């Protein structure tokens, strides 16, 4: 069984995808990490994220990069949304994601284009959303928990900037697949979001 989970930044899609993987005992891939690894490599090599050729060179990142905690920072997230708009970067990461999705026994993947590009044939597709304010509130609390003093307004502005870039690009923009089920996590606890996600997968499979 292939489960595709898409949605904007800080929508809760990662939490939902991890819980689904546990529930169905399937391997899970957070595809945002791949774009974040490219972004972190661009930064480390002092390349230009806006230059497609530079970003493509960084697709050959060291596998150890994937475990680096720096990938989770908002700065790397913003850079990731710049490098991920290049069609050749998306092409360079495509086969790896398709292979993961179509491995024997199935998988859960979360990202922006899983249900539309990576696994249009997925057995279940979820699109997780929440209002920008609520996503910013969650991200802000998470950052504060890690000792950051960033303001709520800055977090909200960053989320809006990333939404605009991810939805506005021409290569695999963030759109809900026609056959995806919508999960609005705005007013749901984590437990309620997960329960709803399992119910939606059961309806589709």
Contact residues for ligand C5P, defined by CB under 6 A: 9, 31-32, 35-36, 77, 80-81, 84, 111-113, 162, 166
Q: 116 labelled as ligand-binding?
A: no
Q: Tell me whether residue 41 or residue 84 sits nearer to ligand C5P (CB atom).
A: 84
Cα separation of 110 and 133, whole Å? 22
**Nearer Cβ to ligand C5P (119/181):** 119
Alpha-carbon separation of residue 59 from 24, 42, 74 (angstroms): 31, 9, 20
- 87 Cα distance to chain centroid: 17
Q: How far is the CB of 67 from ligand C5P (least distance, A)?
A: 15
Token pair in block for residue 163:
């939404």
Residue 9 assigned as binding residue: yes
Q: Is 98 annotated for ligand binding?
A: no
For the bound state, the minimum distance from the C-beta of residue 10 to ligand C5P, rounded and expressed in Å, comes to 7
Cβ 50 to ligand C5P shortest distance, Å: 14
On whether 15 is known to bind a ligand per the annotation, the reply is yes
The dihedrals phi and psi of 186, each to the nearest 5 degrees, come to -50, -45
Helix 13-24 and helix 190-204, axial crossing angle in degrees, nearest 10: 60
- Binding-site entries for ATP: 7-15
């Amino acid at each position: 069984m292939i489960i595709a989970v898409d949605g904007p930044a800080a929508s809760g899609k990662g939490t939902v995808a991890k819980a689904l993987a546990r529930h169905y005992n399937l391997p899970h891939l957070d595809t945002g990490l791949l774009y974040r690894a490219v972004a972190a490599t661009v930064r480390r090599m002092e390349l230009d994220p806006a230059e497609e050729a530079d970003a493509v060179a960084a697709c050959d990142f060291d596998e150890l990069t994937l475990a680096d905690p720096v990938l989770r920072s908002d700065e790397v997230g913003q850079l990731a949304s710049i490098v991920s708009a290049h069609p050749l970067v998306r092409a360079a990461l495509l086969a790896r994601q398709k292979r993961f999705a179509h491995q024997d026994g199935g998988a859960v993947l979360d990202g922006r284009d899983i249900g539309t590009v990576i696994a249009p044939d997925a057995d279940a597709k979820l699109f997780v959303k929440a209002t920008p304010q609520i996503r910013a509130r969650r991200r802000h609390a998470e950052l504060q928990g890690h000792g950051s003093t960033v303001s709520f307004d800055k977090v909200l502005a960053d989320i809006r900037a990333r939404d605009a870039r991810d939805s506005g690009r021409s290569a695999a923009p963030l759109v809900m697949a026609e056959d995806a089920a919508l999960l609005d996590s705005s007013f749901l606890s984590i437990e309620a979001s997960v329960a709803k996600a399992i119910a939606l997968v059961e309806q589709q499979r």
